[in-house]
């Protein structure tokens, strides 16, 4: 086994620890771009393999120990951590921090939950170190040839780190797909939402495929051709492109369409679920992302699927669609509309996160750095950047003039697709949920008024009126009189809720609900 002599001087511009696929590719990308790169891995074998196979690609400085790795870095030191997410990342950060000096920068390029990044950033700040959580999208290929990079952390660390990241990031129209996203966990937050949008995109593409396959009886290769055509229009994107390729691919073992030999259970690593959980906490309706995440869960609900198939067999079969070309054209427009809603909802989540955690996130810049390198790269992201340029305070992406026009154009086709799917028993959760959101968000009045009345009935949760100021409650179990709840103490009549005792009210609500359910 080769051992590496400690570097005689601190010469490396940047270091990467974690030489599995992502870390080694990122290190190679940095080295190929002219940076001197220190490399390290817990087990030295991976470092040796990188040197054996790729050592000639640039100026690498391999180290066997973490101490030698840190010593080989120029000051202020920049060390990227690219190891398994969770406890291993914490362990490596701790080991690095013990060896580093004030002003040095530790960068976590793994897929961390933004709350972990906030915790790590605060802890390292206490020790005088900079911690940057950077979202990296584009998979192995992107890490090697140019990912989209979403760094958070202290702004001043970007002065040192930014030029290197901007050089290795994907470029679009001469602009790097990397920018400082915001403080502490902002980078990982935005990467999380990016992945959520990716879930929604993938699911709605799959729903369009499913309808062409099962309703029109088209072969996978024929559907691949349709996606190829779509990739030349508004839908042009990496995901549409790879969908066409995958659908045209034949299984080498059986000669069957590749998609037909794959078990229909989609896996997930958690970022989609994080995006939904966070949206629930923030009260942001990301229904496209949520339905896409649940669709994966449905696919994996094997006992439930088996039990349901046994007693409720689906009667779905190829339908006699009179105008197949019109149906495919409808699907294209429905796909575009559903995608617009998913992105609009995703940007709402980023805006809500920014407001909650006091991050100054430029929403237009987020769309700009997703135009190349990442999985959701798409032509229409330019339109999002333009929309936020027109109005940086745009409350809803769909309210931008371009998107308003586009979605309005697609609505009739979108409704036909959702209606067809429902009428004939095809699941289309993202098509349907995004249409439902579209109809809800533009409604003059929502049935939430009735929900609020119900809440007041069983939990004394109070309500507000359309015709006057104030917060009210009806004495449902007594004379059904209405009492105002937000007047100064003493002027509230009997039975009033102590609004200050929010916890108590919450408890009553729970009791009321459980009683009701019981
Ligand atoms: P990985 O399989 O997630 O992790 C393997 C690496 O972690 C190895 O270098 C391993 O070292 C190291 N490691 C594990 N436990 C450790 C510990 N306790 N102490 C020190 N090192 C430890 O590698 P990956 O697929 O390259 O991904 C790296 C990170 O990038 C992850 O956070 C992942 O979520 C994220 N990411 C991955 C992708 C992707 O497409 N794969 C895309 C974006 C982001 P040993 O060799 O010694 O075991």
The larger pLDDT score, comparing residue 2 to residue 415, is at 415
Ligand 1 atom closest to residue 18's alpha carbon, by position in its atom list = 9
Determine if ligand 1 sits within 6 Å of the CB of residue 84: yes
59 CA to middle of ligand 1, Å? 23
CB 250 within 8 A of CB 258: yes
pLDDT at 506: 39
- In terms of Cα–Cα distance, which of 10, 370, 375, 16 is closest to 164? 16
Q: Could you report the per-residue pLDDT of 265-316, keeping only the tens digit for each?
A: 988 888 999 999 999 999 999 999 999 999 999 999 999 999 999 999 887 7
Determine if ligand 1 sits within 6 Å of the CB of residue 175: no
Write the CA distances from 124 to 98, 191, 239, 368, integer angstroms: 10, 22, 38, 30
pLDDT for residue 243 is more than 90: yes
CB 328 within 8 A of CB 212: yes
Q: Could you report the per-residue pLDDT of 452-479, keeping only the tens digit for each?
A: 999 999 999 999 999 999 999 999 999 9
pLDDT at 316: 77
pLDDT for residue 54 is more than 90: yes
Instruction: List Cβ neighbours of 269 (8 Å cut-off, separation of 6 or more).
Output: 111
pLDDT at 298: 97
Residue with CA closest to ligand 1 atom 1: 84
Q: Predicted confidence band at 5 (pLDDT cuts at 50, 70, 90)? A: confident
Q: What DSSP character marks residue 235?
A: T
Determine if ligand 1 sits within 6 Å of the CB of residue 149: no
Determine if ligand 1 sits within 6 Å of the CB of residue 83: yes
pLDDT at 510: 38
Rounded Cα distance between 165 and 89, Å, is 21
**Range 217-240 average pLDDT:** 96
* Residue pointed to by tokens 């584009």: 138
pLDDT at 409: 98
Ligand 1 atom closest to residue 85's alpha carbon, by position in its atom list = 32
246 CA to middle of ligand 1, Å? 27
- In terms of Cα–Cα distance, which of 105, 103, 95, 160 is closest to 133? 105
Please provide the size of the chain in residues. 518
Q: Could you report the per-residue pLDDT of 197-214, keeping only the tens digit for each?
A: 999 999 999 999 999 999
Residue with CA closest to ligand 1 atom 31: 110
Determine if ligand 1 sits within 6 Å of the CB of residue 88: yes
Ligand 1 atom closest to residue 42's alpha carbon, by position in its atom list = 47
Determine if ligand 1 sits within 6 Å of the CB of residue 110: yes
Ligand 1 atom closest to residue 269's alpha carbon, by position in its atom list = 34
Pairing mode, strands 130-137 and 148-151: antiparallel
* Residue pointed to by tokens 């690095």: 96
Determine if ligand 1 sits within 6 Å of the CB of residue 16: no
165 CA to middle of ligand 1, Å? 20
Q: Could you report the per-residue pLDDT of 104-115, keeping only the tens digit for each?
A: 999 999 999 999
pLDDT at 95: 97
**Tokens at 27, concatenated:** 């290190």
- In terms of Cα–Cα distance, which of 354, 1, 305, 384 is closest to 184? 354
Mean pLDDT for the chain overall: 93
Q: What DSSP character marks residue 215?
A: I
Q: Predicted confidence band at 491 (pLDDT cuts at 50, 70, 90)? A: low
Q: What's the chain's Rg over C-alpha atoms?
A: 27
Sheet harboring 60-62: ordered strands across? Answer: 60-62, 37-40, 14-17, 78-81, 105-108, 130-137, 148-151
pLDDT at 88: 96
135 CA to middle of ligand 1, Å? 14
Least confident of 27-36, 170-179, 499-508: 499-508
- Selecting among 121, 198, 207, 349, the annotated active-site residue is 198
> What is the reported pTM?
0.92
**Range 61-86 average pLDDT:** 96
pLDDT for residue 219 is more than 60: yes
**Range 503-518 average pLDDT:** 36
The larger pLDDT score, comparing residue 330 to residue 500, is at 330
Q: Predicted confidence band at 1 (pLDDT cuts at 50, 70, 90)? A: low
Residue with CA closest to ligand 1 atom 4: 84
Rounded Cα distance between 106 and 93, Å, is 7
Instruction: List Cβ neighbours of 307 (8 Å cut-off, separation of 6 or more).
Output: none
Q: Could you report the per-residue pLDDT of 92-131, keeping only the tens digit for each?
A: 999 999 999 999 999 999 999 999 999 999 999 999 999 9
167 CA to middle of ligand 1, Å? 23
Angle, to 10 degrees, between the axis of helix 186-210 and the axis of helix 287-300? 60
Partners of 15 in the beta sheet? 38, 79
Q: Predicted confidence band at 508 (pLDDT cuts at 50, 70, 90)? A: very low
287 CA to middle of ligand 1, Å? 31
| Known catalytic residue at 198 | yes
pLDDT for residue 358 is more than 80: yes
pLDDT at 515: 35
pLDDT at 498: 39
pLDDT for residue 404 is more than 70: yes
Determine if ligand 1 sits within 6 Å of the CB of residue 72: no
82 CA to middle of ligand 1, Å? 6
18 CA to middle of ligand 1, Å? 6
Q: Predicted confidence band at 51 (pLDDT cuts at 50, 70, 90)? A: very high
pLDDT for residue 501 is more than 90: no
**Range 167-180 average pLDDT:** 97
**Range 27-43 average pLDDT:** 98
Mutate to test the pocket of ligand 1, among 19, 22, 95 (most ligand atoms within 8 A of CB): 22
* Burial label, 56 (beta-carbon count in 10 A; 0-12, 13-18, 19+): exposed
pLDDT at 457: 98
- Selecting among 48, 121, 166, 191, the annotated active-site residue is 191
| Known catalytic residue at 191 | yes
pLDDT at 170: 97
pLDDT at 317: 75
Mutate to test the pocket of ligand 1, among 1, 20, 21, 62 (most ligand atoms within 8 A of CB): 20
């Amino acid at each position: 086994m080769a051992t590496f002599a400690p570097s005689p001087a601190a010469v490396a511009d940047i270091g990467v620890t974690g030489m599995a696929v992502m870390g080694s590719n990122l290190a190679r990308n940095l080295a190929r771009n002219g940076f001197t790169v220190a490399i390290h891995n817990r087990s030295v074998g991976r470092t040796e393999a990188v040197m054996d196979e790729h050592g000639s690609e640039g100026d690498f400085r391999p180290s066997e120990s973490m101490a030698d790795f840190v010593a080989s870095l120029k000051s202020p030191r920049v060390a990227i951590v690219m190891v398994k997410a969770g406890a291993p990342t914490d362990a490596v950060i701790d080991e690095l921090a013990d060896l580093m000096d004030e002003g040095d920068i530790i960068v976590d390029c793994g897929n961390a939950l933004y709350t972990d990044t906030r915790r790590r950033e605060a802890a390292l700040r206490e020790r005088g170190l900079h911690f940057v959580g950077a979202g990296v999208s584009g998979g192995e290929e992107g890490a090697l040839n140019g990912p989209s990079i979403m760094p958070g952390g202290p702004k001043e660390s970007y002065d040192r780190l930014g030029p290197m990241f901007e050089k290795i990031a994907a470029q679009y129209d001469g602009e790097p797909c990397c920018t400082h996203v915001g403080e502490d966990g902002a980078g990982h937050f935005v990467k999380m939402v990016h992945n959520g949008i990716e879930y929604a995109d993938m699911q709605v593409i799959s729903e369009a495929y499913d309808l062409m396959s099962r309703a029109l009886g088209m072969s996978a290769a024929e559907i691949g051709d349709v996606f190829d055509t779509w990739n030349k229009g508004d839908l042009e994107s990496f995901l549409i492109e790879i969908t066409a390729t995958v659908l045209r691919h034949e299984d080498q073992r059986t000669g069957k369409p590749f998609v037909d030999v794959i078990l229909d259970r989609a896996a997930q690593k958690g970022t989609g679920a994080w995006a939904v959980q966070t949206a629930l906490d923030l009260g942001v309706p990301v229904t496209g992302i949520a339905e896409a995440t649940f669709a994966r869960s449905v696919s994996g609900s094997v006992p439930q699927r088996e039990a349901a198939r046994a007693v409720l067999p689906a009667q779905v079969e190829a339908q006699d669609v009179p105008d197949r070309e019109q149906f495919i054209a409808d699907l294209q427009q429905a796909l575009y509309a559903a995608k617009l809603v998913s992105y609009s909802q995703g940007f709402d989540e980023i805006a809500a996160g920014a407001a909650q955690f006091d991050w100054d996130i430029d929403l237009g810049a987020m769309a700009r750095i997703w135009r190349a390198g990442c999985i959701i790269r798409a032509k229409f992201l330019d339109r999002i950047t333009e929309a936020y340029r027109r109005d940086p305070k745009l409350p809803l992406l769909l309210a931008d003039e371009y998107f308003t026009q586009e979605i309005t154009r697609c609505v009739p086709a979108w409704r036909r697709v959702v209606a067809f799917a429902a009428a004939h028993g095809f699941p289309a959760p993202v098509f349907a949920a995004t249409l439902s959101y579209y109809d809800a968000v533009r409604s003059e009045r929502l049935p939430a008024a009735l929900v609020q009345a119900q809440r007041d009935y069983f939990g004394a949760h109070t309500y507000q009126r359309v015709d006057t100021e104030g917060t009210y409650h009806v004495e449902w179990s007594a004379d059904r009189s209405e009492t105002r709840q937000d007047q100064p103490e003493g002027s509230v009549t009997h039975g009033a809720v102590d609004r200050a005792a929010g916890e108590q009210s919450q408890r009553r609500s729970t009791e009321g609900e459980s009683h009701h359910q019981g």
